[in-house]
Structure 1
Amino acid sequence: MSPSVSVCIPAYQAGEYLAATINSVLRQTFEDFELLVLDNASTDATPDILRGFTDPRLRVLRNPEVLPVAANWNRVISKSAAPLVKLVCADDLLHPRCLERQHAVLAGDRSLALVCSRRDLVNEQARPIARNRGLRGLLGRHDSRTVIRKIVRHGGNPLGEPAGALFRREHFDAVGGFDGRWRFPLDLHLWIRLLEHGDFYGMPESLAAFRIGRGSLSAQAQRAEYAEQRSLTERTATAPQWTVPRVDRMVGAARAPGARLRRQAAFLLARRQAEHRATGG
């Protein structure tokens, strides 16, 4: 019998944090799930760590050669067996009740395409940098067009990273999965496409944690991320199926620099904390 939820972890050179990520999934109060980990031809301790787990809910796969990020993420989901899917990056964490709370919402309402929760930002030692981030103005149920307008007006990604989201496998397949033409807004592009198939529900609890490390984003990467984010926002705003008012586009353009600065501040704080700890401060 197929499980109700598939949790998919794409792992590449993930030895430092992978065990903690897997344990956060295996400790869920909701038990009807499978956990798939796809090792993307790692050469570090990742294979050894995976061999140390014996939980029957865990399936381990390995690529013979390194795949690009989008291809790797798509492959691990393609191997899943459940109707509902959560993708968790190999350094992020789930709250113990994450699957319990999100499954109850998404499985109970077929008109919903996407459920997201708030999330914490944590440093390399999993200590909180900021709590209960995201979903401002998006808590509870919202029709998809309202959410798209909120995304455009936000100027960034108000829905958050993959660990905070739960979606339907049938919708993922219908939109073609993650689109490798996008690098930084890879997840947000998928959320936008999924919303073509149903409505959205934002959960007020912080049910996932996004880990920020010293090497997470260079200055060059920050500029590239910002440019891609603006490109995706403009493309979404002008898509005929959403009929986004021009004023929303103007608000989003004005807010985008602020969204970028808030994200930069979180990454800078994490970097300083890591450097402080490394020097024994």
Structure 2
Amino acid sequence: MSALITILLPFFNEEGWIGSTIDSLIAQKDQRFHLILLDNGSTDGGRLEAEQHLAGWDAGMSRIVPVATPGKTNALTVGLSLVTTPYVAICDADTHYPPCYVANCLKLFAGRADATAVMAIDLYDPADSAAAKRRMNRILGKARLHRDRCHAGGYAQAFRTDALRAVGGFDTQRWPFVLEDHEVIHRVHRLGISLYDASHYCHPSPRRGDRRCVSWTRFERLLYRFMPRSRMDWFFYEFLWRRLEHRRAFAAALREKNWT
């Protein structure tokens, strides 16, 4: 079976979480994918846990690659260099992916040649619950209203590999800060659109408590949402760059786990 999509899963000290994420990925109904785990210098038992949960699955479908340079962006740079499939998905080590996740990525890309990215909706309640339905409708509404903005985190993004590489991929020289998931979508939108669909979702962990050091202020978020598209280069590479640099909100800040 030829793989069509590669899943990149960077992790750092995810013992107790990464196993269930791997279980959700190897349970995919559509198995036409490679899984590359990027161990970004873990010092706990996360790698051993990953190996144990991968045991018995087709060994040719997965690999664990060590990445010594700290930071998620650095790990993804290495991972993208190893991708040979037409599509690439970015997953987080503490997120649950439903069995239709890979199939939905492939179906949505196949249905729209102008799509450079497919985005999953992040849910924090059972998918058939009223709360989840309300969230789906809210995200889909935002995606329709603000089509050229990002409405999903890095745990929920998939790309056409050639488009992602054409705009520079993951690169700390281009963007050394947090919010790399939004910045990379800004670049891939130069070549196409992002797709959202009510059937395509995932369940991130709600464990992070204080996200102030890895996110943006209310003012920055509002400016991002309503800034004219023609000014988005200025927004990221001048305005937000200076502010994040002043706060020292570099990508490595994501390694600090202030869990609830």
TM-score, normalising length from structure 1? 0.69
Larger Rg: 1
Which one is further off, 200-209 or 222-231? 222-231
After superposition, give the CA deviation of every residue in 1:51-110 in whole Å (9 maximum; x if it has no partner).
3223221111112x2422211122222222211111101111111101112211103332
CA distance in 2, matches of 1:236, 1:174: 27
Q: Contact 1:93 / 1:210 at 8 angstroms: preserved in 2?
A: yes
Counterpart residue identity of residue 140, structure 2: R
* Residue of structure 1 in register with 2:192 after alignment: 198
Q: Is the contact made by 1:24 and 1:95 (CA closer than 8 Å) also made in structure 2?
A: yes
Counterpart pick for 2:183 among 166, 182, 189: 189
Q: Distance in 1 between matches of 2:111 and 2:100?
A: 17
Contact 1:182/1:228 (<8 A) preserved: no
Pick closer, same or farther for the CA change 1:196–1:79 going to 2, 3 Å. same
Would you identify which runs of 4 or more consecutive aligned residues in structure 1 move more than 6 Å?
none
Could you tell me which of 61, 64, 71 is aligned with 1:60?
64
Change (3 A) 1:120 1:184: same
1:171 and 2:175 aligned: no
Maintained 8 Å contact 2:146/2:225:
no
Q: Letter of the 1:34 partner, please give it.
A: H
**SS of aligned partner of 2:166:** helix
Is there any run of 5+ residues in structure 1 with no aligned partner, and where?
A: 123-127, 152-156, 244-269, 272-281
- 1:257-272 aligned at under 5 Å gives the runs 271=260
SS of match in other structure, 2:196: strand
Distance change in 2, residues 1:226/1:8 (3 Å): same
Count of residues in correspondence between the two structures: 224
| Aligned-partner SS, 1:137 | helix
Mapped pair 1:91 → 2:94: yes
* Residue pair 1:38, 1:60 contacting (<8 A) in 2 also: yes
**Where in structure 2 are there 5+ consecutive unaligned residues?**
234-258
**Per-residue Cα deviation, 1:19-62 (whole angstroms, up to 9, x for no partner):** 11111110011111111101112111022113322322111111
Where in structure 2 are the equivalents of 1:4-153 lying within 5 Å? 4-52=4-52, 53-54=54-55, 55-56=57-58, 57-63=61-67, 65-121=68-124, 131-132=132-133, 133=135, 135-137=139-141, 147-148=147-148, 151=149
Instruction: Give the share of equivalent positions with the same residue, in percent.
Output: 18
Q: CA deviation at 1:120?
A: 1.0
Distance 1:229 1:74 in 2: 30
Q: Which has the higher strand share?
A: 1
Residues 15 and 49 in structure 2, CA contact (< 8 A), matched pair in contact too: yes
Paired AA for residue 164 in structure 1: A
Deviation at residue 183 of structure 1 after TM alignment: 3.3
Task: Give RMSD over aligned pairs.
Answer: 3.3
The 1:24–1:147 alpha-carbon spacing in structure 2 relative to 1, beyond 3 Å, is same
Report the alpha carbon displacement of residue 174 of structure 1 after superposing the two structures with TM: 1.3
| Partners of 2:213 and 2:94 in 1: CA distance | 23
Shift of 1:202: 1.3
Cα distance in 2 between the residues matched to 1:205 and 1:165: 15
Q: Which amino acid aligns with 2:216?
A: Y
